[in-house]
Amino acid sequence: MTIHFTKYHGLGNDFILIDNRTSTEPCLTPDEAIQWCDRHFGIGADGVIFALPGQAGTDYTMRIYNSDGSEPEMCGNGIRCLAHFIADLEGVTKEQAYRIQTLAGVITPKLEGNGLITVDMGEPRLLAAEIPTLLGQPDQPVIDQPLAVAGQTWKVTCVSMGNPHCITFVDDGAAIPLETLGPQFEHHPVFPKRTNTEFIQMIRPDYLKMRVWERGAGITLACGTGACASLVAAVLTGRSDRSATVELPGGPLHITWSEKDQHLYMTGPAEKVFTGVHA
């Protein structure tokens, strides 16, 4: 069977998008997704995203597999790519918002008409049981809690944007050995669903520099849910304004944690790279 696909990226966080509108189940298995994402034996991507029919009044449903075949609840850069993909499928070129069902609830990306996409990412979840993490008390937030990893004690703040994030503020982000530390955070026993891991260097109260180790994907050039979670952690620890630029290796995202509705709003690009047919 041949399957048509389109490659998109959001700041270098790259995804294979598949038009899955005729079925409510993804047309690939997790094992096939692993093969497609392989950068030497496949197309190459950080994940595969399926545009499925909407449910309960939503326009579409998004499902995603990480490059290791696991299925995250949400994906910030991915949902901007999905919004761009469905606008292309529908031939829409004007400003347009979509209501997307995800495993983390309904998320609303809006094409701004200037190439950028703003996503209403919903509210962060802060209680330890919601992350989930075994750090602290289940019904309390986890802010600047000590965590021993690789023979050092790190002060971590945990935030869920539907998917789990563990954020550490450091003086020098470039000095962090992400390749070796990342997996030890991801698989630490205090994170029963594993975790995405962000290291943040504060440049100014309105400018954060972030490096990320993603659950199920490793080092990536950008992570939208991670940028939102990191801004929340920076606000909770008194380090940043509620509106800031988060600079990722692949480029900047603008994030606002609205005082009005407590939702996170993320603005950034999504670009089409190529279309193809998988044999």
The CB-of-94 to ligand ZDP minimum distance in angstroms stands at 25
Query: Looking only at residues 228 through 267 of this chain, which bind ligand ZDP when binding is defined by CB under 6 A?
Result: none
Query: Looking only at residues 77 through 96 of this chain, which bind ligand ZDP when binding is defined by CB under 6 A?
Result: 77-78
Active site residue 27: no
* Catalytic annotation, pick one of 75, 81, 158, 166: 75
- Is there binding between residue 196 and ligand ZDP (CB under 6 A)? yes
Taking CB under 6 A as the criterion, the residue among 132, 224, 268, 269 binding ligand ZDP is 224
Closer residue to ligand ZDP in complex, CB, 236/270: 270
Active site residue 75: yes
- Is there binding between residue 223 and ligand ZDP (CB under 6 A)? yes
Stretch that binds ligand ZDP, among 68-76, 111-119, 182-190, 241-249 (CB under 6 A): 68-76
Tokens of 62: 């998004």
- Is there binding between residue 160 and ligand ZDP (CB under 6 A)? no
The CB-of-62 to ligand ZDP minimum distance in angstroms stands at 11
- From residue 7 to residue 46, the character string flagging contacts with ligand ZDP as x (rule: CB under 6 A) and all else as - is ------x---------------------------------
Provide the binding-site residues for ligand ZDP, judged by CB under 6 A.
Answer: 13, 66, 72, 75-78, 163, 196, 214-217, 220, 223-225
Q: Please give the positions annotated as active site.
A: 75, 223
